[in-house]
Structure 1
Amino acid sequence: MSTPTSLPPFVPLDPVGIDDLLTDDELTVRASVRRLCAERIDPYVAEWFEQGALPDVRGLARELGSLGLLGMHLEGYGCAGMSATDYGLACLELEASDSGIRSLVSVQGSLAMFAIWRWGSEEQKTAWLPRMAAGDAIGCFGLTEPDHGSDPGDMRTRARRVAGAGSDWVLDGRKMWITNGTVADVAVVWAQTDEGIRGFVVPTDTPGFSAPEIKHKQSLRASVTSELVLDGVRLPDAAAFPDVRGLKGPLSCLNEARYGIVWGAMGAARSALETALEYATGRIQFGRPIAGFQLTQQKLVDMNVEYTKGLLLALHLGRRKDAGRLRPEQVSLGKLNNVREALEICRTARTVLGANGISLEYPVIRHMNNLESVLTYEGTVEMHTLVLGEAMTGQAAFR
Structure 2
Amino acid sequence: MALAISDAIGLDPYGYAQTHLSEAAQRTLAGLAATLERDVKPLLRDAWETATMPDAVLAALIPLSLMEPGGVSPDEAASTMFSGFRNYVLARTDVSVATLYNAQSGLFRAAVRFGGSAEQAAELDPQIRSFALTGVFALTEPEHGSDIAGGLATTARRDGDEWVIDGQKRWIGGASTADRLAIFARDVADGEVKLFLVDRTADGVTLETITGKVALRPMQNSVITLNGARVADAWRMQNVNSWRDVSRILRTMRSDVAWIAAGLQAGALEAAVRYVRGREQFGRPIGGFQLVQEKLARMLGNAVASLGMAVQLSVRQDAGDFDDTNSALAKMTTSLMARETVALGREVLGGNGILLEHDVARFFADTEAVYSYEGTHEINSLIVGRALTGTSAFV
The answer to which of 348-357 and 104-113 deviates more is 104-113
Structure 1 residue 366 and structure 2 residue 359: aligned? no
Structure 1 residue ranges without an equivalent (≥5): 1-7
Closer/same/farther in 2, CA of residues 11 and 71 from structure 1, 3 Å limit: closer
In the other structure, the counterpart of 1:3 is none
Q: Match for 2:167: what amino acid? A: G
Q: TM-score, normalised by structure 2?
A: 0.91
> Which amino acid letter does the alignment assign opposite residue 41 of structure 2?
D
1:262 partnered with 2:258? yes
After TM superposition, the score normalised by the length of structure 1 is 0.90
Partner residue of 1:33?
Answer: 32
Matches within 5 A, 1:1-399: 10-11=3-4, 13-23=11-21, 24-56=23-55, 60-61=57-58, 63-70=60-67, 81-121=77-117, 124-125=120-121, 128-153=124-149, 154-162=151-159, 166-193=160-187, 194-195=189-190, 196-399=192-395
Q: Do 1:62 and 1:134's aligned partners in 2 also have CA atoms closer than 8 Å?
A: no
* Letter aligned with residue 252 of structure 2: E
Is the 1:181–1:187 contact (alpha carbons within 8 Å) kept by the matching residues of 2?
Answer: yes
Q: Residues 191 and 32 from structure 1, CA distance in 2 versus in 1: closer, same or farther, beyond 3 angstroms?
A: same
Q: Distance in 2 between matches of 1:26 and 1:9?
A: 25
- Describe the shift of the 1:29–1:252 C-alpha distance in structure 2 as closer, same or farther (beyond 3 A): farther
Question: 1:68–1:80: 8 Å Cα contact kept in structure 2?
Answer: no
Instruction: Quote the Cα distance in structure 2 between the aligned partners of 1:306 and 1:180.
Output: 30
Give CA-to-partner distance per residue, 1:51-88, whole Å, 9 cap, x none: 100121xx54354333223588xxx9x99943211111
CA distance in 2, matches of 1:129, 1:64: 18
Query: What is the letter of the counterpart of residue 115 of structure 2?
Result: W
Cα gap change, 1:126 to 1:305, in 2 (>3 Å): closer
**Kept in 1: contact 2:40–2:57 (CA 8 A):** no
SS in 1 for 2:42: coil
Structure 1 range deviating more: 117-126 or 208-217: 117-126
Structure 1 residue 115: Cα displacement: 1.2
Q: Provide the C-alpha distance between the structure 2 equivalents of 1:40 and 1:256, rounded to a whole number of angstroms.
A: 30
Aligned partners of 1:61 and 1:135 also within 8 Å: no
Pairwise CA distance, 1:103: 0.9
Q: Is 1:71–1:109's contact at 8 Å kept on the other side of the alignment?
A: no
Paired AA for residue 153 in structure 2: R
Corresponding residue SS for 2:357:
coil
When residues 18 and 169 of structure 1 are mapped into structure 2, their CA distance, relative to the original with a 3 A threshold, is closer
Kindly provide the amino acid, as one letter, of the partner of residue 322 in structure 1.
Answer: D
Contact 1:339-1:371 within 8 A present in 2 as well: yes
More helix per residue: 2
Deviates more, 1:127-136 or 1:12-21: 12-21
1:9, 1:360 → 2: CA distance? 27
Q: Which amino acid aligns with 2:96?
A: G
The number of aligned residues is 384
CA distance in 1, matches of 2:348, 2:59: 38
SS of 2:369 mapped into structure 1: helix
Bigger mean CA offset, 113-122 vs 331-340: 113-122
2:320 counterpart SS class: coil
